[in-house]
Amino acid sequence: SDYGMFGNECSLSTEEVIKVIGFKINKLIASICENNEVSQFSAKVELPLNFPGLYKVVADKTPYASIEEIARKVSIGPTRFGHPCFYSPKDIKLANFTIKHDERITFNSVEEIHGTMAVNCVVVRNNQSHSFALPLSQEGEFYECEDDQIYTLKEIAEWKIPKCRNRIVKLSNTLPMWDSSSPLPENFDGCLSLMPVYDLQAVMKFRKDIVHILSDLDVEVKDVTDCYDTSSFLQPLSLEDIFERTSKEFPMVAAIMDGPSGSQKPYNLLSTGNEIVIHNKYQAARVLASEIRSDSSKRHYLIPMSYKGKFKRRPREFPTAYDLEIARSEKEHLHVVATKAFTSPHKELFSVSVGDQFLVQQRQTSEVLYEGRKGLIDVLACEQILSNSYKKVLLPMYMEGGFVEVIHDKKQYHLSEICKEFHLPFNVKVSVRDLSIEKDVLAAAPGLQFEEEITDSYLLISSARSPEESWEIPVYRLNVLVRLLSKDVPTVEPPVTRTAVEEVSQEEYYMLRRYENLTLHPPPRPPKKPT
């Protein structure tokens, strides 16, 4: 029989041998919940994985009976999605550590430790991280912790639906552009119970790609695993599949079955047909940066710490006094010029005119008169710069005005120095380009804002034929399929490591920001009314 899926036509002939290598969620059946419970009268609707909206995961109230059950049913992996959290209602005593009841346990990875399969875990106590391993044989009652992150439906399907369980989610934002064809009611903002529908992932002898077969496809099959040589199949693996392998399996040799086109390093190593050595997997630091432009066509970059160019500072802009407080540092006085006037409602506090200059001092509280009563208010102590002197003034912390930084520092900085000495976000321009790379895309930018440091997953690879240098390649932003080769790899140090500045798309940029920094919205600004 023939069938089509995702635009791929596939023919399944009688006696065709198929090797099933996994399964993935293809779509979701959703039911509307009330009080986190599905009514028997709730209509079921089908939602594709790209259905719009951002959702919060509702913690599952059904406990797990062992660590082995959690490892078998819950996705635990190297990405920011793959670190589920659980708690036990009772203390758990380990050899060198006691997990307190109701303490949040983060599950990071599953590995064999001293011959025993275990989960590497972390508990944060008094702002200190405590690492330990829980064997899969550990029994008890383990409940899922509340999760304050937000996800797309696709992310929930890939990472947040345990096997053999449904998942309840709550819509976190209003659905955009509702129309009558939407399967959900207009202005819906409630909870949904999601039931996954899977498709099988399989390989066939004469296809180089992975074939997806719907689990409800009406085809009769027979299990021939015990009487067939399955080693004759090619098994395409993604970079994610490689990254999920244990550390002791590296290094390995692989042939590129499907890779990106491009002559620029390191992407030329990933051309179809090339053979590469994959030396290692790890997490590496990057700085997420955006061009400083007034239009919407700004580009976004991930810059490695090994970038050898130098930067000069550029003025930052601050919309409120609260932002001045966040940006100030002990290293130097923050010098700003007001770009917007502000009239204070309290005579004890300063009214700002356009052009006023200030040196930012510190946050404090001040007593003010409000509606005939005295009260305390958060303020920012500053020195106003006059022609021949300085005047101490107080600005209300909630003040919405506008300030531009005055730069006195002419020093040139390496990226690592900026991350160490200053608070991000931080504005710069390349003053000396990185001469070690063929084309430094950062040098052409009119200005850059370093927004935050992130940690991401990378593989270290080199050419199998001419291994003069090795390169870090991102695991989750490259569509590459490889097959492992049974070649011996000499256990020597990988050649000198090279890194590249990576340009990321607008969508990738927002995903990186959304999950790396959950405090994108600053803490609440102080109230205007005194307390």
| pLDDT of res. 512 | 77
List Cβ neighbours of 95 (8 Å cut-off, separation of 6 or more).
none
DSSP for residue 321? H
Query: Tell me: the pLDDT tens digits for 321-344?
Result: 888 888 888 778 899 999 999 888
The token pair at 154 is 């696709």
Per-residue confidence band for 529, with pLDDT thresholds at 50, 70 and 90: low
- Average pLDDT (475-491) is 82
- Average pLDDT (409-415) is 93
Q: What burial letters (b/e) apply to 241-254, b meaning 16+ CB within 10 Å?
A: bbbbeeeeebbbbb
Rg (CA), the chain: 28
Q: Measure the CA–CA gap between 84 and 106, rounded to whole angstroms.
A: 6
Asked if the model's pLDDT at residue 522 lies above 70, the reply is no
Asked if the model's pLDDT at residue 310 lies above 50, the reply is yes
Number of CB atoms found within 10 A of residue 131's CB = 11
Asked if the model's pLDDT at residue 368 lies above 50, the reply is yes
| pLDDT of res. 430 | 94
Q: Measure the CA–CA gap between 230 and 75, rounded to whole angstroms.
A: 27
Contacts by residues 327-330 (CB-CB < 8 Å, ≥ 24 positions apart): 327/360, 327/423, 328/360, 328/362, 329/422, 329/423
Identify whether the C-beta of residue 343 lies closer than 8 Å to the C-beta of residue 351: yes
| pLDDT of res. 516 | 47
Phi, psi of 128 (to 5 degrees): -120, 135
Identify whether the C-beta of residue 69 lies closer than 8 Å to the C-beta of residue 135: no
CA dihedral sign of residues 133, 136, 137, 140: positive
- β-partners of residue 212 are 201
DSSP calls for 456-491? EEEEEEEESS--S-EEEEESSS---EEEEE------
| pLDDT of res. 490 | 66
The segment with the largest mean pLDDT, out of 225-239, 471-485, 498-512, is: 471-485
- Average pLDDT (289-313) is 89
**Judging by DSSP bridges, how do beta strands 105-113 and 116-125 pair with one another?**
antiparallel
Torsion angle of alpha carbons 464, 470, 473, 478, nearest 10°? -30
* Residue with more model confidence, 122 or 272: 122
DSSP calls for 248-275? GG-SEEEEEEE----SSTTGGGGSTT-E
Query: Tell me: the pLDDT tens digits for 160-196?
Result: 999 888 899 988 765 555 555 677 777 777 788 998 8
| pLDDT of res. 99 | 94
| pLDDT of res. 40 | 61
Q: How long is the chain?
A: 531
Per-residue confidence band for 7, with pLDDT thresholds at 50, 70 and 90: very low
List Cβ neighbours of 87 (8 Å cut-off, separation of 6 or more).
101, 102, 103, 104, 105, 142, 143, 145
Asked if the model's pLDDT at residue 418 lies above 60, the reply is yes
DSSP for residue 424? S
Q: Measure the CA–CA gap between 441 and 430, rounded to whole angstroms.
A: 10
| pLDDT of res. 18 | 84
DSSP calls for 88-157? -SS-EE-SS-EEPTT--EEEEEEEEETTEEEEEEEEEETTEEEEEEEETT-EEEEEEPP----B-HHHHH
Per-residue confidence band for 5, with pLDDT thresholds at 50, 70 and 90: very low
Asked if the model's pLDDT at residue 523 lies above 50, the reply is no
Per-residue confidence band for 530, with pLDDT thresholds at 50, 70 and 90: low
Per-residue confidence band for 247, with pLDDT thresholds at 50, 70 and 90: confident
Per-residue confidence band for 379, with pLDDT thresholds at 50, 70 and 90: confident
The token pair at 475 is 């695991």
| pLDDT of res. 206 | 66
Asked if the model's pLDDT at residue 132 lies above 90, the reply is yes
| pLDDT of res. 436 | 86
- Average pLDDT (263-276) is 83
Mean pLDDT across the chain:
84
- Average pLDDT (73-95) is 88
**Judging by DSSP bridges, how do beta strands 481-485 and 252-258 pair with one another?**
antiparallel
Query: Tell me: the pLDDT tens digits for 345-364?
Result: 888 888 899 999 999 998 88
The token pair at 450 is 């370093």
Tell me the percentage of the chain whose pLDDT exceeds 90: 33
The token pair at 417 is 């120095």
- Average pLDDT (249-255) is 90
Per-residue confidence band for 11, with pLDDT thresholds at 50, 70 and 90: low
Asked if the model's pLDDT at residue 289 lies above 70, the reply is yes
- Average pLDDT (36-63) is 81
Phi, psi of 507 (to 5 degrees): -65, -45
Find, among 383, 394, 399, the residue nearest to 321 by Cα: 399
Asked if the model's pLDDT at residue 38 lies above 70, the reply is no
Asked if the model's pLDDT at residue 275 lies above 60, the reply is yes
Tell me the percentage of the chain whose pLDDT exceeds 70: 88
* Residue with more model confidence, 453 or 212: 453
Find, among 234, 327, 247, the residue nearest to 279 by Cα: 247
Asked if the model's pLDDT at residue 309 lies above 50, the reply is yes
Per-residue confidence band for 524, with pLDDT thresholds at 50, 70 and 90: very low
Distances (CA, A) of 282 to 250, 457, 504: 11, 6, 20
| pLDDT of res. 278 | 93
Q: Measure the CA–CA gap between 362 and 194, rounded to whole angstroms.
A: 50
**Judging by DSSP bridges, how do beta strands 400-405 and 317-320 pair with one another?**
antiparallel
Domains and their CATH numbers in the chain = 20-199 (no CATH), 235-284+456-500 (2.30.30), 285-313+412-454 (no CATH), 317-405 (2.30.30.40)
- β-partners of residue 304 are 286
